Structure 1
Amino acid sequence: MSSNKDSFKNNFLKRLESMCGKGFEESTKRDQYYTLGNMVREYISRKWIETNELYRSENKKQVYYLSIEFLLGRLLVQNLLNLGIKDVVEEGLKELHISLNDIEECESDAALGNGGLGRLAACFLDSLATLNLPGHGCGIRYKHGLFDQKIVDGYQVELPEQWLRHGNVWEVRKSDEAKEVLFWGRVETIVEENHVSFNHVGAEKVLAVPYDMPVVGFNVSTVNTLRLWNAEPASFAPNRDILTYKRDTEAITDFLYPDDTYDEGKILRLKQQYFLVSSSIQNIMASYKKENANVRELHKSVAIHINDTHPALAIPELMRILMDIEGLSWEEAWEVTTKTLSYTNHTILSEALEKWPIYLFKPLLPRIFMIIEEINERFCAELWEKYPGDWYRIEQMAIIAHDLVKMAHLAIVGSNSINGVAKIHSEILKNREMKTFYEMYPTKFNNKTNGITHRRWLLKSNPELTTLLKNTIGDEFVSKPEMLLDLKKHIHNPSLKEQFSDVKRSRKEILAKKIEEKNGIKIDIDSIFDVQVKRLHAYKRQLLNVLHIMYLYNRLKEDANFFIQPRTFIFGAKASPTYYYAKKIIKLIHSLADKVNNDPRVSKVIKVVFMENYRVSLAEDIFPAADVSEQISTASKEASGTGNMKFMMNGALTVGTLDGANIEIMEEIGQENIFTFGLTAQEVLNYEENGRYRSMEYYHHDLRIRQVVDQLTNGFFAEDEGEYEAIADSLLVQNDQYFVLRDFASYIDVQERVGSAYQENDRWLEKSLINIAHSGYFSSDRTIKQYADEIWKIEPIGMKV
């Protein structure tokens, strides 16, 4: 790499010839991407090595962030941007008649996640490096990710994500640092002169091979590491057919979230989780012991963070290593473990708080189960001492109960900190979902509202807006996103509003072109781009959005004088392969799109678009183009959300319930700059407690509701009348668990307010600019500083470039 474009061009051409064995004129876009990617990685390597050497020499505390997901997105342009060489490279390539954006299209999104959990983890890694904080990610190198979504006749079809088909230019295989992970077998107890030890024998060994990816900080010298583990056969397979053993081993890192409908899938998921934590904890201990002799002081040099319950087995695994390998007593190991581990809870949904049947857990992880049993026994004894005779409380709080191992309970008991991810979420955890644990450990609980990295979701994804902001308030916000607040001084400036309108329109044109190319749908640039992109789940209520569009269709068909501001409704979502209901919603969206988009009159006013295979690189086109951000989850169910922050940062206005971080967004920007509706969290919780909600009452008393619900099963859509019976039943027979019908009228009202507000163009632009100005608070830099100061107790190491 070079600081001037001429030198870069010469180096690039020489490197391309040597790497690809062909002249520039014969090279393909992929050859050019591969060449540039390798040049960038080698340029990063010097900083990477220096960072690791600095960490070793300083011997300061480091954090390891364990997560089952890391949704990084494409890294080529992001790395160039963070390194400060994007302009030089782009100019040099341009003189060679190469588009950097075209080259970037050759890079696959790393298939290492599904939804918000993985996108948050990626933002956190970016902020850790940018803030010069010694922090690394630990994850799994999935061969095929979650799945590649294809839509066939309106139905979701899942194909393997082939993101590694052409290799991964950013990874470095470190086979010399591989670890062995043990499954099955049995535990032998050895008693020697007042000392009891345990030996795991007859185990099936799996090799965990690390692949390291650099995490480049923005405008700093720090390059942290994301270590991804790949499962490979060990040198031998005891008592197993070698081909079966090889297949079972490789399956551990084949797919994210394998189908756990049956026991075989549950075992595979549990294998994945233990594989992640065992390899990571072994690696952390090995790194620590290179510089430190006393394992009793591990917590002074290491913080280990559990991102949701998936890595909660880190607690018994660390106990195992400290006791069985390092020789610590139970009491010593427990003190070190609880001082080292911290836990983020991301949900209050019971189905997401993992529970494993003992009959599967115990034979697969015999030593780990023994340790969890002991943790549970000691914890229950502690509960008995504090609440003598309160059997019900003990039963509800136990880590092992009713033949299940409860991972959230394990994570709480074995951690020094438990945090929620938005103020309301943390309060619900303390006062309702985890109330008994909060009463037991009040000082452990805290809040850390989520954040996003503006380096990807503004600087990279919306360079036009970034330039406008720099020209208006200077570039200090690039390193200090809170300085976006300076924009408030300029929101009434007619020139700024006009320029922002032009930026938004240009981004809408880019997305409209992509929609026409991919979906064959031509959309109105002047319409409101009303967007709901997120994981498909009943509580996120894509169904409420759909029913509202059905209502608009009905009004437009029935009343020639009915007016609405033209809208394009844009959806993007993946449904879990086994989530039948969610997949029906995707089919319903497509049926509605066929109905609306092919109606000669209605399609002039509204269009419906479903963007296939929603992912980070697609999101980078969607967020800058959006006018309206749909954040309509049932109040109390969405822990935080981060899509709401990305839309906000790009000037979209939120239509949302008072849920998750929507509340904090409203507090920042003021009620007049957000469109809220629906039940509050407390009202939802009251309904759930007293059982007085009757969805049938809303069906019978609101003709608009009755019409759209009936249309699900009366032949309104071209499909068989039974196609959407399950959806209709969820609303009426199953009493509408997520209060879609209860919030329907309120949602119609707020959408009418949105349409009216959009017609006041000048005021709408001011609202958009206010949202952008306040979005700096929701930077992941702020979130990570809070984690670093209040939970992990780590300090910056290193300096700016």
Structure 2
Amino acid sequence: MINHENLKNRIQLYSQTTFGSSFEELLDTEKYVVLSKALMENVLPLWTESRNALAGKRRAFYLSSEYLMGRFLTNNLINMGAKEEVEKLLDEMGIEYDSIEESEEDPALGNGGLGRLAACFLDSAATLGYPLDGYGIRYDFGLFKQKIKDKEQVEEADNWTKFGDPWGIRKVKETVLVAFRGSEIRAVPYDYPVIGYGHKMINTLRLWKAESLEEFDFKAFNDQNYDLAVKAKNDAENIAKVLYPNDSYEEGKKLRLKQQYFFVSASLQDIVRRYKKENNSIEGFADKHAIQLNDTHPAVAIPELMRILTKLEGMEWNSAWKIVKNVFGYTNHTLMAEALEQWPVRYYEELIPQIYEIIQRINYMLLEELAGYGITHDQFHKYEIINNGNIRMAWLSIYGSKSVNGVARLHTDLLINQELRDWYRLYPWKFNNKTNGITQRRWLLQSNPELSSLVSELLGGDEWITDLAKLKELERFAWDEAILERFRGIKQLKKSQLAEYIKYTEGVDIDPGSIYDIQIKRLHEYKRQLLNALHIIHLYFRIKEDPELDIHPRTFIFGAKAAPGYIRAKGIIRLINDIKELVNNDPVVSNRIKVVFVQNYRVSYAEKLFPAADVSEQISTAGKEASGTGNMKFMLNGAPTLGTYDGANIEIVEEAGEENNYIFGLRVEDIKAIGDTYDPKEVYNNNPNLKRALDSLVDGTFKDDTGVYREIYNSLLYGADWHRPDNYYVLKDFEEYRLAQEKIDRDYRNSIEWARKCWLNLVNSGKFSSDRTIEEYSREIWSIEKI
């Protein structure tokens, strides 16, 4: 419970000491800072108690380059059980909580599913009572803030701390030094509380800020060499400026490597330092620690821990290697070859030569082991960590870890049988599956309170908040029309709320009575936003031909960021916005279909989109999406999946029934069977609907002053120098996708049957809680127990 009078006094005190004014006179952004600071006084005692309870216990640590946390305030209040109290107190003061909530900037610490998964995992671990702390980088500007100007993506700095960072505590005394060739960088930790639901346990997300040892060269400045005076400071701080700096050129690639080593080295030094405070001997390190590598970005942790153990702690090599192999677990998040990181040897030699020497020795040890298994020299190239002038980080991760897991059953099967089959034959005991999950606290309880209330009412309690499998008990209401009507009413309310928000933020009027068809995810060709776009062009031409065409009104909503250097992906964003202008400005078409591209897609926007969705677009090329977690968030909020048989879609339709979802297109085995015989020109020439839609890219329908549409057109029909034609089978799957969309149009008109499909998705989503995933990691990989 929160003492109203104490909190009110703290609010006024922080208002004066921070901004020199009363709380009532502050800007909303300032009120957010003050309220959060005041609430931190309630957090700190339990945070300290939680830390003290970890003494001597086995713990797990999560190393991730991304944490897409979302706004802190409401999530923390819900988990503290204090949201209603704080809203009431503010109301007594004449202050609107919603205005303060909307003023909070989303922390710019992640990009897509990788970072959001990490955030869900931290929430689940704290809620369940597992000792799991996260480590990452405190980016100054994150990925970028996206604006759409003249239909193009424009990247702007996302200065998420410009109004303050009240939930982060700077721990200067726990600073560590990270050494690169010829320089050292100061890594300063900022700690963020990860509050478990019910306010029982608080874990920590520790993010490192990069700072220079030399703040200012006074002599250089005095000599009027002003740029040189701050060069060391700027060089150091660049490491933590942005997430995934553009690596189109060599300097960007080097900066990415420096980022990775910076946060990994700082984190491992910190973990070892804490261990030594409680233990006299480093020999038992593996008994007390499990460290999970969230993809290959932190893979340099393996040689870095070897450096710490052998160079700093004086351990013999084999003893240190035994510890390393028993500490690390590696999560693989992709089947995409370009995402299985490789670094040129010369970068390591230039920046961190001491680490390269250790990797060489690890590689030599691997080759000796291979020979011992009877593997011949001509087969070594399949396994070599250093190969053809590159360091293969996935190979390093597999060899240096005790566990290698995929993130959906199909994904893990493909790793074992295709991408990593040679490694699986070598170490079958390492491989396992951990299907991803999402936290219901943020993605239902927080983002859809109306549906949450209905769920709690029907279940007679709120146990589902920490046990999502309870939703299965609601399956009996799938044939209760009164309940389905209430469910439909909630969906309609969320659609109306989203329509208001889109009008306010994007300036587009949309019909809440239309089908909300939503595709929100990172922009990449394999995710096939282009397939969705071509279908909309097809509908546009059909309506132009027949203005009386019998279709239910449809609103297509996209949200996506493209990497700054990914030219084709940015071209697809431009195309979607061109289609938006074409469709929305046509008086004949715009009352039948509408297109929206939401700018700067992020967690707080997603919290409005998922509850309002009627259709969840999950249309990646089969075998390319490792899991997906957006599909789970849509499902949890009662939206059927329109998708390929890929990633977690497979497990979703197993739980909710294929009859309640819309699966289309090639499957993995179909793609394999097609092989090199596939000719997209044949598909194109034999499908007039597809041909007309694709031709619009080059026939003047859209202005192509940059040539990007012609390039997309050519890539689909003729290929590019780095891939074959229609590499992601957009054209091949177009017809089945079109037919699936027509079936959705027909089914949606039967409102009760549609509501039943949605309800059966909601009540069968229990498997996809990150609580379940964390239980599996804790039991089967980390061997940690609840505190």
For Structure 1 versus Structure 2, the TM-score category normalised by the shorter chain is: over 0.9
List runs of 5+ in structure 1 lacking aligned partners: 185-202
1:520 shift after superposition: 1.7
List runs of 5+ in structure 2 lacking aligned partners: 221-227, 720-724
1:387-406 correspondence to structure 2 within 5 Å = 387-391=374-378, 393-406=379-392
- In the alignment, is the contact (CA less than 8 A) between 2:178 and 2:187 conserved in 1? yes
- In the alignment, is the contact (CA less than 8 A) between 2:510 and 2:555 conserved in 1? yes
Tell me which residue corresponds to 2:284.
Answer: 297
**Two-structure CA RMSD over aligned residues (Å):** 1.6
Tell me which residue corresponds to 1:736.
Answer: 726
TM-score, normalised via structure 2 length: 0.96
- Which has the higher mean CA deviation after the structures are superposed, 37-46 or 741-750? 37-46
1:21 shift after superposition: 2.9
Matches of 2:296 and 2:85, distance apart in 1: 44
Choose from 583, 592, 600 the match for 2:570. 583
Matches of 1:25 and 1:39, distance apart in 2: 15
Choose from 391, 395, 416 the match for 1:430. 416
1:613-692 correspondence to structure 2 within 5 Å = 613-687=600-674, 690-692=675-677
Tell me which residue corresponds to 2:503.
Answer: 516
Matches of 1:388 and 1:458, distance apart in 2: 52
Tell me which residue corresponds to 1:478.
Answer: 465
Matches of 1:219 and 1:37, distance apart in 2: 18
Matches of 1:404 and 1:704, distance apart in 2: 46
Tell me which residue corresponds to 2:771.
Answer: 781
Matches of 1:281 and 1:6, distance apart in 2: 43
Tell me which residue corresponds to 1:313.
Answer: 300
With over 3 angstroms needed to count, the CA separation of the structure-2 counterparts of 1:8 and 1:237, relative to structure 1, is closer
- In the alignment, is the contact (CA less than 8 A) between 1:373 and 1:400 conserved in 2? yes
- In the alignment, is the contact (CA less than 8 A) between 2:215 and 2:233 conserved in 1? no
Tell me which residue corresponds to 2:192.
Answer: 213
Matches of 1:230 and 1:25, distance apart in 2: 33
Aligned AA (1:786): E
Tell me which residue corresponds to 1:446.
Answer: 432
Matches of 1:376 and 1:528, distance apart in 2: 55
Matches of 1:622 and 1:107, distance apart in 2: 18
Matches of 1:300 and 1:432, distance apart in 2: 34
Aligned AA (2:50): T
Tell me which residue corresponds to 2:225.
Answer: none
**Deviation per CA, 1:546-569, whole angstroms, max 9, x where unpaired?**
000011111111124422111000
Aligned residues: 773
Instruction: Verify: 1:384 aligned to 2:374, yes or no.
Output: no
With over 3 angstroms needed to count, the CA separation of the structure-2 counterparts of 1:488 and 1:448, relative to structure 1, is same
Matches of 2:83 and 2:466, distance apart in 1: 17
Tell me which residue corresponds to 2:101.
Answer: 104
Aligned AA (1:134): P
Instruction: Verify: 1:696 aligned to 2:675, yes or no.
Output: no
Where 1:724 maps in the other structure, the secondary structure is helix
1:261 shift after superposition: 1.5
Tell me which residue corresponds to 1:168.
Answer: 165
Where 2:728 maps in the other structure, the secondary structure is coil
1:6 shift after superposition: 6.1
Tell me which residue corresponds to 1:197.
Answer: none
1:121-520 correspondence to structure 2 within 5 Å = 121-184=118-181, 203-235=182-214, 243-391=230-378, 393-474=379-460, 475-520=462-507
**Deviation per CA, 1:140-162, whole angstroms, max 9, x where unpaired?**
00001000001101000001101
Matches of 1:338 and 1:589, distance apart in 2: 47
Matches of 2:7 and 2:271, distance apart in 1: 38
- In the alignment, is the contact (CA less than 8 A) between 2:559 and 2:600 conserved in 1? yes
- Which has the higher mean CA deviation after the structures are superposed, 576-585 or 233-242? 233-242
- In the alignment, is the contact (CA less than 8 A) between 2:485 and 2:752 conserved in 1? no
Matches of 2:215 and 2:687, distance apart in 1: 67
1:14 shift after superposition: 5.2
- Which has the higher mean CA deviation after the structures are superposed, 525-534 or 359-368? 359-368
Matches of 1:260 and 1:398, distance apart in 2: 25
- In the alignment, is the contact (CA less than 8 A) between 1:204 and 1:237 conserved in 2? no
- Which has the higher mean CA deviation after the structures are superposed, 323-332 or 718-727? 718-727
- In the alignment, is the contact (CA less than 8 A) between 1:573 and 1:613 conserved in 2? yes
**Deviation per CA, 1:109-154, whole angstroms, max 9, x where unpaired?**
0000110000000000000100110110000000010000011010
Where 1:252 maps in the other structure, the secondary structure is helix
Where 1:256 maps in the other structure, the secondary structure is coil
**Deviation per CA, 1:650-703, whole angstroms, max 9, x where unpaired?**
11111000000000001101111110000011222333xx31111111011111
**Deviation per CA, 1:564-611, whole angstroms, max 9, x where unpaired?**
111000000000000000000000001001110011111110000000
Instruction: Verify: 1:541 aligned to 2:538, yes or no.
Output: no
Percent of paired sites with the same residue: 49
Tell me which residue corresponds to 1:21.
Answer: 20
Where 1:575 maps in the other structure, the secondary structure is coil
1:7 shift after superposition: 6.0
Matches of 1:176 and 1:685, distance apart in 2: 56
Instruction: Verify: 1:605 aligned to 2:592, yes or no.
Output: yes
1:15 shift after superposition: 4.8
Where 1:274 maps in the other structure, the secondary structure is helix
- In the alignment, is the contact (CA less than 8 A) between 1:208 and 1:230 conserved in 2? yes
Tell me which residue corresponds to 2:753.
Answer: 763
Matches of 1:11 and 1:272, distance apart in 2: 38
Matches of 1:51 and 1:388, distance apart in 2: 49
1:30 shift after superposition: 2.6
Matches of 1:24 and 1:138, distance apart in 2: 34
TM-score, normalised via structure 1 length: 0.95
1:91 shift after superposition: 1.3
Where 2:134 maps in the other structure, the secondary structure is strand
Aligned AA (2:616): S
1:22 shift after superposition: 2.2
- In the alignment, is the contact (CA less than 8 A) between 2:11 and 2:23 conserved in 1? no
1:387 shift after superposition: 3.3
Aligned AA (1:335): K
1:424 shift after superposition: 0.2
Choose from 548, 556, 574 the match for 2:561. 574
1:712-751 correspondence to structure 2 within 5 Å = 712-720=697-705, 722-734=707-719, 735-751=725-741
Aligned AA (1:106): S
Matches of 1:237 and 1:421, distance apart in 2: 47
Matches of 1:721 and 1:309, distance apart in 2: 35
Where 1:507 maps in the other structure, the secondary structure is helix
Tell me which residue corresponds to 2:224.
Answer: none
Matches of 2:706 and 2:440, distance apart in 1: 46
- In the alignment, is the contact (CA less than 8 A) between 2:554 and 2:593 conserved in 1? yes
Instruction: Verify: 1:794 aligned to 2:784, yes or no.
Output: yes
With over 3 angstroms needed to count, the CA separation of the structure-2 counterparts of 1:723 and 1:435, relative to structure 1, is closer
Matches of 1:218 and 1:312, distance apart in 2: 31
Matches of 1:737 and 1:719, distance apart in 2: 23
With over 3 angstroms needed to count, the CA separation of the structure-2 counterparts of 1:449 and 1:519, relative to structure 1, is same
